[in-house]
Chain A
Amino acid sequence: MAADPSGPVFSALADPTRRQLLTAIAQRPATATELANELPISRQAVVKHLSALSQAGLLARERAGRDVRYSVTPAPLSDAVSWMAQVGGQWDERLAALGRQFGVPTARS
C-alpha cells in the first residue's frame, strides 16, 4: 500500500521518541507504565506519545487490568514505514554515540 507522506502516519512518526516507542512496542506489546520504566521517558510523555500513535492508527489498545496494553497494528504500518521507524531509530542512536565522542551533550526529549 502507498502511504501518504503528508498523512497522520508520517506526522506521528516524525518524532524520534515516538519512533523509539513504536519500535519497543513492535518488539513486545507493553503498557505505558512498562514503557516509562524501560525507556528514559516520563510516563506522562509516554502517554502523550502513545495517544498520538493510536490516533494515527499505528497502535491497538487492549485493557489489561487497570492499565491499557498497546500493540502495533500491522495494517497502516507498511514495509516502508516500519523500515523508516527502525532505521531512523538506529541513526538517532549512532549519532548520539558519535556526538558523545566529540563532547556534544546528548539531547533527551
Chain B
Amino acid sequence: MIDRIERELELPASPSEVWLALTDPVWLAGWLADEVSLELVPGGHARFRIGDQLRSGWVEEISPPDVGDRETDGPTGRLAFWWAHGDEPASRVELALIPTADGATLLQVVESRPLEILDLVGIPLPGLGGASYGPALVAAA
C-alpha cells in the first residue's frame, strides 16, 4: 500500500513508561500535538490541536502493556486511533510498543489511509465525518 508511513524509535524506558507518554495528555502535548484529548476507551472521542489546526477522530484500540507476561513476541502495548482535519480523508495511526532485550522499548508508528480504497470504488471518503462513522466501517470490514 502506498499511503502508509512507518517509523520507529527506541526509547530508554520500559513499555509502561512509554505507554504513559502515549496516553497522558500532558506527555502527549509535548510531542504529538499542541493539545490532545483522548478518551481512553475503544470508540472514544479523540481531539487534537496542531497550531491552529483542529483534528478530530476516535480511538480504535487501546491495549496497555502487559506487565505480567514478557514471553510473548510482538507488541506489548498498542494504541490505534483515527484522525482527520476538515474534509481531508481520515487516516489511521497505530502506535505499538515492543520491549527490547536490554529493557528498552521500541516504539513503532504506522500512519495509513486505508479508507483511500473506498475512493476507488466510488464511496465518498469520510473527512471529518469519518470520525463518527469510521467505527462502523471498521466493524463492517
The answer to whether A and B assemble together is yes
- What's the tally of chain B residues with a CB closer than 8 Å to chain A? 22
Contact between A98 and B11, CB atoms less than 8 A apart: yes
- Determine chain A's interface SS by DSSP, over half rule: helix
Q: Does A15 contact B (CB under 8 A)?
A: no
Partner of A83, one of B30, B109, B113: B113
With A95-B109, A97-B30 in contact, is A3–B2 under 8 Å at CB? Answer: yes
Are A102 and B12 CB-contacts (below 8 A) given A91-B109, A95-B109?
yes
- Is chain B's binding surface mostly helix, strand, loop or mixed? mixed
B9 within 8 A of A: yes
> Which one of A5, A84, A97, A104 lies within 8 Å of B5 (CB-CB)?
A84
- Chain B residues contacting A98 (CB-CB under 8 Å) are 9, 11, 21, 30-32, 107
Interface residues on A, range: 10 to 19
**Are B3 and A84 interface neighbours, CB within 8 A?**
yes
Q: Which A residues are in CB contact (< 8 Å) with B70? A: none
Within 8 A of A (CB), among B41-64: none
